[in-house]
Each structure stands twice: as structure tokens, then as C-alpha cells.
Amino acid sequence: MKNPAGLQRDRIRKGMAAIVVVAFFLFFPASCSGLKKETDATEAKEEIFAMNTYMRIEVRGREAKEAVNAGVKEIYRLENLLSRSIPESEIFAVNSAAGEEYTTVSAETFQVISISLLYSEMTDGCFDVTVAPLMDLWGFSSGDYRVPNPSEIDDVMSSVGYEMVRIEEDSGRVMLEKKGMSMDLGAVTKGYAGDRVLAVIQQYDIESALINLGGNVTVFGKKKTGAPYHVAIADPENRGEYLGVLAAENQSIVTSGGYERFFESDGKVYIHIMDPETGRPAETDLLSVSVIDADGIKCDILSTALFVMGKDAAIGFWRENPDFGMILSDSSGTLFVSQNIKEEFSVADGKSVVYFE
Amino acid sequence: MSSILSKENGNDGNAPKAVDRDPAGAEARGSDFSPRLSFGVPDFLLIIVLVMAGLIPFVFGTLRATKESDFEKVAILTVAGQEVWRCPVGNGSEPSEFTYSSQEGILIVRADKSGAWVAHSDCPDQICVRTGKISRAGQISVCIPFRAVLRIEATNPISDAWIHPDGIDAVSE
């Protein structure tokens, strides 16, 4: 028999031991549950070279691998449909029949062309899919860069103009009015591909995705930590740095600028973005334009068009159509950021910024 | 130091002090010599110390991940999706150079403690060379003709403190 004090002491000891045991089983499963959560959702990624650029798809979710495979397949399908350099593509067929006859295209190709023409009108021709002959003339298609003389530019300009693209909605037919005309959907296709890849992978059981098609970034959902994806905007003046970082969710972010593809001749820089009005590489007070929206094709087209417009016209366009996010970087190094993304966009240290609305 | 589980009986000179301070307990033991396990305050403290010691790697691991200077990075060169070269980047890393040869010509990449870059490429457009030095996790320098991608990756999981300059997932360019 134990006396009451001994019994009480034993009870205290057992109580303390119980606390230790309970605490152990409380903390240990808690720390493990986090690990389990990470391993529940599988991750898959794939890198490919397509559409003349580098692409990477990362997906997290139970069917991540299947989704990535389907996404890659979709990219190749679109390249074969919309490339102007693949002889089997529908765009190749339309270009080959320029000035001669209509070409019947798929509903999808027809839709991409129609959207492109719509934005050409909206932007007063700053975006134009018929600048392909100019790209050839300046050597941007082949890599054999050269500065053509003015008469050569004038000759080619007669074959440039979105107004000369005829489309028949009822029959799904497309025709370029003049011989020598040519369409290049290069400034549309990656944006459209981002939308399509997202649509395809969403048919699978996935939780989040990061689609990077040559710098055109589309994000879906949040990271496994619950944080949004963080997409940096490249600094056109210092490629190792950023203009800032955007916390993005279910959005596309597309940046256009002349800092990546260009050539120099007699001390002058010629960038790869053509001004359809002058027939020459765009000369603008902007270094880069980033457009943020849920619609990837819109981001792709507008980033090019607004770059060609220049700063004041781009801000004016945004004020008339303020349903997307816009980041401009001008030649003085100042950022102009639309007010509607102020919360999501963190400007890099040392950058001067003006918010507009 | 006492053992976690010590055998208590009257002949045990190392009986826990708590027992020695308790005459009632000693009397009780005098009438009951059957061996039994006891659990003293020192044992409890030892368990606490051991548990806390076990948590140290987790606690310091978490703190480390939030310190920018402690991010260790690596430069990785892949060609057509296959890794062909890897080099640590950061404080204390040695300068390194790698030459890749193919039918396109040669591609030379270099790395030092501050980053990695394509030093030379026989490609026509030179976009990879113009990209210059990359230093932040997530940055890439791409050479399309060589199908080469030079990438900086954090070797530790990237902090999700999104204002952290290394905590990016992609670059829009």
C-alpha cells in the first residue's frame, strides 16, 4: 500500500510522462502532415524548343505528368497549324495563295486571324500580321540582317496592310489580296498557345501550373505553399536585373521590347519589331511593354502594339481600355505602371515609378 | 546524470533525489521491494532538452531559408534537355568554364561567385551572349541554335517570401 503523498507523486510523474507522450504525438504528425501534403500532389515539367523559342511547362497535381504531355502536344499542334515556315501549315497555304485565291482554313486558324485583325483596327494598325515581307527584307527572318534602301522599303510596303486581308466568316476562307503579301502570326501564336495549353492541362486533375513560352508567362493557381507565382519583368537595360516582380494568379504576363533581337549597323540599332506605318524597325521612347491579363493572346498582341505606339499613346490606349495591367519602361529608365496592378507589382529598388489611372 | 528509467529500490545508492527528499516514499519502498520503473524531474528535463535538441535543425533550417546571403545557387547548362555541366554559384565558389561543341560550333559558358554567362557562341543572333550574366535563381540564358539553356537554380528550396529577390518562378521578357 502506498501512502496518499506517494500516490500523488506518482500521479504527477505519470501526468508529466503523459504530457510528453501526448506532445510528441501532437507535434510529430503535425510536422509530417506538411510533408505528406507535398508528396500527395505530384509535379512534372517539360522543356522543349518550339516556335523558334524555348518553352517550359511545370504542373503540380495528381495528373501532372499527363497534363504536361498534353500541353507539349498542343504546342506542336499549334506550331504545325500556324507557322509560316512549315509547308504543311494553314498559314503557309494562305501565303502561297496570296493574290490568287481564297484558302479554306480551320475554324481555329480563322479565329486567330480574326482576332489579330480586330486588334489591328483597335490599335490603328500598330499591330499588323502582314509585316512578314518587311521582316524578310530587313533579314530578321533569316538572320542575314541588312539595312535596305528606301526604295526597297517602299516597294515592300505596297504589300503590307491588314486591310488587304480578306476573310469570309460563313465559309471560313481567307485571302491576301496582293501577290507578295505574307502573314506572320509570330506575335500572336505564343500568346494563343499559352491560352490553349492552359485549357488543355485544365482538363486533367491539376492544382497549379506555370507555362513559360519564350518569356510569355501564364500561371494557373497557386504554388504548393499557397503563395502566388512570382513573375519578374526583365530589365531591358540590365538583363541580369528585374524591373520588378508581379504576384500573379490565373494570368498571362507578356513583355515586348527591342532589347533581345536586334542588330547594329553604322552605330545605329535596329530592333526586330516593325512599325507597319514606316516599314522600318519601330523607333519609340519605350524600352519594353508588359501586359497582364487573363487573356494570353490579348497580352501578346497588345504588348507589341503598345510598344510601337510609344509611351503617351500607350497610356492613352489603356485609359480607353483599362481592363488589363500595363507596365511601361521608358528610355529614361522610369516605369509607368497602371494603377490596377499597383498592389501585385513590387518595383525593384532604385527604380523610379509613376502610377497612372 | 540519472537515467531516464532508473530502477528504484532500497539498495540503489543512485536513487533519484526527489525520492530521498520524500520520507513517506522511502517508507513506502521499505514495505515494497518489488522493482518498478520511476520517472523523476531530471528525467523529464532530459526529455525536454532532447526534444528541443531534435528540433534545432528544423528551427535553424527555417531561419536559414529566409536569409538571402545563405541561398546557395547552382548554374546548370542543358542541351536538348540533357544536363551537360553544373557549377556552384555563390560566396566561395571557384570560377569555372565549360566548352560545348556540336555541329553548330562551340558554346563557352563561364561561372564565378556572382553568376554565370554565355561567354561565346558561334550562333548567328548572339542573343545568348547579349543576355550577359545571370545570377538570380530562375533566370535563364537561352541559345536556340544550340538548343542550350543556362539556368541558375537555388539548391535549397526558394523562400516564398515573394519580395525576396531570389524568390521568382519565371521571367517575362
Asked if the model's pLDDT at residue B14 lies above 70, the reply is no
Length of chain B: 173
- A242·B168 Cβ contact <8 A: yes
- Homologous superfamily assigned to B71-154: N-utilization substance G protein NusG, insert domain (2.60.320.10)
Q: What is the pLDDT of residues A232-277, one digit of tens each?
A: 999 998 877 889 999 999 999 999 998 878 888 999 999 999 999 9
B-chain residue closest to A292, CA distance: B172
The cell numbers describing B13, all together, are: 545508492
pLDDT above 90: percentage of residues in chain A: 79
**Within-domain flag for A115:** yes
By mean pLDDT, which of A33-42, A165-174, B10-19, B74-83 is the weakest? B10-19
For B142-149, what is the mean pLDDT? 94
| CA A236 – CA A292 distance, rounded (Å) | 18
Short-list A197, A179, A220, CA closest to A95? A179
pLDDT of residue B168: 81
A-chain residues within 8 Å CB-CB of B139? Answer: 240
- B132·A240 Cβ contact <8 A: yes
Chain B window 85-114: which residues touch A at a Cβ cutoff of 8 Å?
none
For the stretch A284-314, what's the b/e string if a residue is b when 16 or more beta carbons lie within 10 angstroms of its beta carbon? Answer: bebbbbbbbbebbbbbbbbbbbbbbbbbebb
> In which residue ranges of chain B is CATH 2.60.320.10 found?
71-154
A-chain residue closest to B18, CA distance: A9
**What is the total count of domains within chain A?**
1
Taking the CA of residue A143 and the nearest CA in chain B, the distance in Å comes to 7
**Within-domain flag for A239:** no
**Within-domain flag for A19:** no
pLDDT above 70: percentage of residues in chain A: 89
The cell numbers describing B94, all together, are: 571557384
- A260·B173 Cβ contact <8 A: yes
For B113-138, what is the mean pLDDT? 90
**Domain of A121?**
85-184
Asked if the model's pLDDT at residue A304 lies above 80, the reply is yes
| CA A351 – CA B14 distance, rounded (Å) | 71
| CA A189 – CA A112 distance, rounded (Å) | 8
Q: Does B28 touch chain A (CB under 8 A)?
A: yes
B-chain residues within 8 Å CB-CB of A13? Answer: 38-40
Q: What is the pLDDT of residues A40-76, one digit of tens each?
A: 569 999 999 999 899 999 999 999 999 999 999 999 9
B-chain residues within 8 Å CB-CB of A225? Answer: 160
**Within-domain flag for A109:** yes
**Within-domain flag for A120:** yes
Chain B window 114-133: which residues touch A at a Cβ cutoff of 8 Å?
115, 124-125, 127, 130-133
**Within-domain flag for A143:** yes
- The ipTM assigned to this model is 0.84
